[in-house]
A and B are shown apart, each in its own frame.
Chain A
Amino acid sequence: MGAILQSFLAGFDPYLLQILVNIGIAIVLALGLNVIVGLTGQLSLGHAAFMSIGAFASALITNKLGLAFGPNLILTGVITAVIAAIIGFPILRLTGDYLAICTLGFAEIVKVFFLNFEPSNKALGLTVQNAKTDIPVPIWVFLVAVLSVVLVSFVQTSRFGRALKAIREDEIAAEAMGINLTRYKIQAFALGSFMAGVGGGLYAHFLSYINPSDFGFLKSVDILSMVVLGGLGSVPGTVFGSAVLASAPEFLRFMSQYRMLVYGALLVFLMVFRPNGLMGGVNVMDLLLRAVGKKPAGVAFKEKSTT
């Protein structure tokens, strides 16, 4: 099985594969943040902290316990989710800017913790051993990315997801409907962090060396930009935003020194013309149905209501 996949990957251009893996990891991370920021409307600036918890946990599990990669990723996700739930309990009572500042503070704490954590070599960083698996890491990344898309799409339309959206739109109204705010918020926070942890684990094993300083504030902002650019709360949007932003530095490489200038300009430009994100408010299913010539459900109702 592993050998077949290995030879399958060998047919790919390694550089393209590298970019695709970067995109895959970004999708997992951004979808996780999308649950917290996009669906539940809780602004978190500490997503990279959960990514680093996942990265270090997963690396230490491989290095010290030698657990197979699959269980490793699940355990990593669970550890990250539990930590997120514990943290979330006090701080998710806050809203808006206050919550954002709290997550920012938490991210700093995590960074300082790993800078002083003996098993992960403190500030020297950790060299990660090869993942204990036959299947190449890039395949794992694609697999997890697809699973994340399925999971978040499913969550979005579930009873749980609708409750989260209700919280996002109006907390008081949601509470009046009998939604337990704290419980749902913590669950959403834990789910998003679970995915951040898994993404961190993939990142660690793909790059094979991690350092606490990789997971700073800027990394959190990078992930947040992917979500916002794609469209808050939209799964296809987040996937698209991650793909654009994770590959932009490589695609813009032909511009050499000017590329980060253009990257920044691209962000400004998109936010001016698409304030809701690239796919914000766009129903991809509708578009697809329209493309094949079928009238999407609900259109008739909409047409009637506008007249």
Chain B
Amino acid sequence: MSFKKMSALLLVAMLAVGVFGCKKKEEASKEAAAPAAAAGDTVKIGFLGALTGDVAMFGKPTLEGMKMAAEEINAAGGVLGKKIEIVEADDRGDKQEGASVTQKFVSRDKVVAIVGDPTTGITKVAAPVAQKAGVVLLSAGATGPGVVEIGDYIFRDTLLDSIAIPACIEFFAKDLKFKKVAIITSDNNDYSVGLSQTFRDAAKKVPEISIVADEKVKDGDKDFSAQITNIKGKKPDVILFSGYYTEGALIMKEARKQGLKAPMFGGDGLFSPKFIELGGQAVEGSMSALGFSTEQATPETAKFIESFKAKHNGELPGLFDAQGYDAVMLLADAMKRANSIDPKAFKDTLAKTKGFAGVSGTISMQANREPIKSPLSLLYVKDGKFVLKAKVPVKMD
């Protein structure tokens, strides 16, 4: 067979896979939609996030959580007698596509609310589109600044670092008696640059804490000996690292090699099995602050964990599963209180949410529509595993 014929055959095969793959899906969704249509109207909620590509690790669990919430609500009779339908679309983590998907949701699918994107960048591109169309957009994951400021239809259900980090730093000073901190920033990483600023602001507010070193590294660096040498002389009690797990683990290896005993503390960027895999003995005792932990669960969380485990062969849910679940629950709760599925009405009740018992913590919306969630889970590495060190309470105003 000639090369051209082979490639033509290959293309046909691939197209067939594509067409059949989606046919199955369409049938499935038709079946799911049929009973809902019989019971009356449906409430459409869009899922905006990456299901393929680099950031699919955030999008996929968010969608899982959303589906679970929708199923539970629908099993209990739906919201205001209407079934919830999740409309999903993949944005591949691309901004232009994120904007297109949002536009598709509001003009084609006529959703009343969108959950997503789990990353700040795409949320910022999608939010103006949703705001203009008058559709509620609730990001289950965006932690960067300047999101809810875009408009009164824009929300998020993630605990902001600017609220979580001060609570942790205070906990370090009061309970762990830390005095000296060293900050390391990965300066080609937007998440890290933002988080480091939060570290600095938080540390300045606690009188017992002083910043003894402020070093810079880059994502992708392998050698951190210069930075560690600088930090070592200042004898910090803890290294605040705002970057991701790969660099975090390598930094800790270098620190232990040079005899620096301080543990590392970071945001959810450190929370990965890879951190322990790469760091080994060096990362024992290192900490990460998260909005979700399966330990010391509240009744709501325990129920969520049980049903998640039943669905996923005993696998434990993660932060994004929980946040996706909470996002749909929050929206349903706001719709119930507003007694309406009109975004114009339930955006106001959503903004007034107080003490909502979510599976990722108790959620309240502040006056500026930024959420506060309590408690925060401080995890640390013990015997090669992340375990709960403490539930740190976050002050509500």
Contacts and interface: CB of A to CB of B under 8 A. Distances in A.
Interface of A: 13-15, 17-19, 22, 112, 115-116, 122-125, 127, 203, 206-209, 211, 213-214, 249-250, 252-262, 265-266, 268-269, 272-273
Given A123-B193, A208-B128, A209-B124, A261 B17 contact: yes
Contact of A211 (B14, B133, B190): B190
Contact of B52 (A14, A112, A250, A260): A260
Given A124-B144, A127-B146, A18 B99 contact: yes
Given A127-B146, A207-B99, A258-B22, A269 B11 contact: yes
Contacts of B3: 272
Contacts of B187: 115-116, 122-123
Nearest to A218: B94
30 contacts: A15-B103, A18-B100, A19-B100, A22-B96, A116-B187, A122-B193, A124-B144, A125-B121, A125-B124, A125-B190, A207-B95, A207-B96, A209-B124, A211-B190, A213-B121, A214-B95, A249-B92, A249-B94, A249-B97, A250-B97, A250-B100, A250-B104, A258-B17, A261-B18, A262-B15, A265-B14, A266-B11, A268-B11, A269-B11, A272-B4
Contacts, number: 117
B194 interface: yes
Interface residues of B, number: 46
A13 B17 CA distance: 31
A255 B8 contact: no
Interface string B97-116: 10110011011100000000
B125 interface: yes
Given A257-B90, A265-B10, 6 more contacts: A18-B103, A18-B104, A209-B95, A209-B121, A257-B52, A269-B11
Contacts of B99: 18, 206-207
B108 A259 contact: no
Secondary structure call for the A interface: helix
Contacts of B125: 207-209
Interface string B80-99: 00000000111010111101
B25 interface: yes
A261 B14 contact: yes
B19 interface: yes
Given A14-B107, A115-B188, A255 B22 contact: yes
Given A14-B107, A256-B25, A265-B15, A123 B95 contact: no
Contacts of B108: 13, 15
A269 B7 contact: yes
Given A124-B145, A207-B95, A257 B107 contact: no
A253 B190 contact: no
Given A125-B190, A257-B21, A15 B4 contact: no
Contacts of A127: 124, 146
Nearest to A209: B124
A252 B92 CA distance: 13
Contact of B107 (A15, A213, A265, A273): A15
Nearest to B192: A123
